[in-house]
Amino acid sequence: MCGRMVLTLPHEAMVNLFGATPGNDLPEVPDYNICPTDRVHVVSAQDGVRRLGAMRWGFLPHWYKAMNGGPLLINARGETIAEKPAFRAAVRLRRCIVPASGFYEWTKDEAGNRLPWYITRADGSPMAMAAVWQGWGEDDPVNTCAVVTTGANAAMSAIHHRMPVILEPEDWALWLGEAGHGAAPLMTAPPDEALTWHRVDPAVNSNRAEGPELIEPLEEAGI
């Protein structure tokens, strides 16, 4: 799964990376502790134009009567996304990309303490997480999104059994619908060597924690 992420890339760098037109309401960066229901950066495409905008992380199906009208849908399982009523239209028509520098995942020690890990791309490049989006509400519509996940690769499974779908640059156009709609083959785990990770301070267990020290490695930790 993906339940917390980091983004340190400046807006101009994201605009250049994705060839997107920026919105005027982008969240501030860097952010070392992006949490569910926060506004996140999202790349979408419409009429041949890519846009970098902001959406609420937490997908709201159209039938929710209120933002808390059902489960908080921050992730969508790639294996069943085309079948689930909440996501099946979005995965056909409203695919998007959530840029990230990395994301957090947790293991537990023998005493049950939650041990946080920070996961990044091994080559140091930004992540492009596959996602879907949905507009919600009539009077003042809110765009909302969920990150698509898949089963973890063998290496990542030492930390968690799920992971976000991470798209390579050559696949961005297909996922965004610019090169057709058959994106199902993209919803797979990256190769084992694609990611790297290290233990970080448990301070990040709090969704109020901030600052670059949250992603600094703990030297004594390892898997």
pLDDT in tens, 12-38: 999 999 999 999 999 999 999 999 999
Highest mean pLDDT pick, 46-50, 130-134, 180-184: 130-134
* pLDDT band per the 50, 70, 90 thresholds, residue 4: very high
CB distance 162 to 168 below 8 Å = no
Using DSSP's 3-state secondary structure scheme, residue 138 falls into coil
Q: What is the dihedral of CA 70, 75, 80, 85, to 10 degrees?
A: 30
Whether the predicted pLDDT of 223 surpasses 80: no
CB distance 104 to 116 below 8 Å = yes
Strands (E), 80-154: 95-100, 102-108, 114-121, 127-136, 142-151
Report the share of the chain in percent with pLDDT over 70.
98
CB distance 43 to 11 below 8 Å = no
Q: Which two tokens stand for residue 196?
A: 């790297």
Q: What is the mean pLDDT of residues 38-60?
A: 96
Q: Which of 105, 138, 178, 210 is catalytic?
A: 105
Gap between the Cα atoms of 15 and 8, Å rounded: 14
Q: What is the mean pLDDT of residues 44-56?
A: 95
Report the share of the chain in percent with pLDDT over 90.
90
pLDDT of residue 182: 77
- pLDDT, tens digit (0-9, with 9 covering 90-100), for 98-155: 999 999 999 999 999 999 999 999 999 999 999 999 999 988 899 999 999 999 999 9
Instruction: Sketch out the chain's domains with CATH numbers.
Output: 5-105+126-191 (3.90.1680.10)
Q: Mark whether 2 is an active-site residue.
A: yes
Cis peptide, bond prior to residue 190, ω within 30 of zero: no
> Strand 5-7 to strand 31-34: parallel, antiparallel, or no bridges (unpaired)?
antiparallel
Q: Any idea how long the chain is? A: 223
Question: Given CA atoms 24, 29, 35, 40 in this order, what sign does their dihedral have?
Answer: positive
**Residue tagged 């997107």 (tokens):** 20
Query: Where is 12: in which H helix or E strand?
Result: helix 11-18
Q: What is the mean pLDDT of residues 173-199?
A: 91
How many CA atoms, within 13 angstroms, populate the side-chain half-sphere of residue 55? 27
pLDDT of residue 185: 85
Summary mean pLDDT of the chain? 94
Per-residue buried b or exposed e for 71-104, using 16+ beta carbons within 10 Å of the residue's own CB: eebbbbbbeebeeeebbeebbeebbbbbbbbbbb
pLDDT of residue 84: 97
**Residue tagged 């689930």 (tokens):** 84
Q: Mark whether 105 is an active-site residue.
A: yes
Query: What residues are paired with 108 via a beta bridge?
Result: 114
pLDDT of residue 157: 95
Question: Given CA atoms 109, 76, 190, 219 in this order, what sign does their dihedral have?
Answer: negative
Q: What is the mean pLDDT of residues 158-185?
A: 92
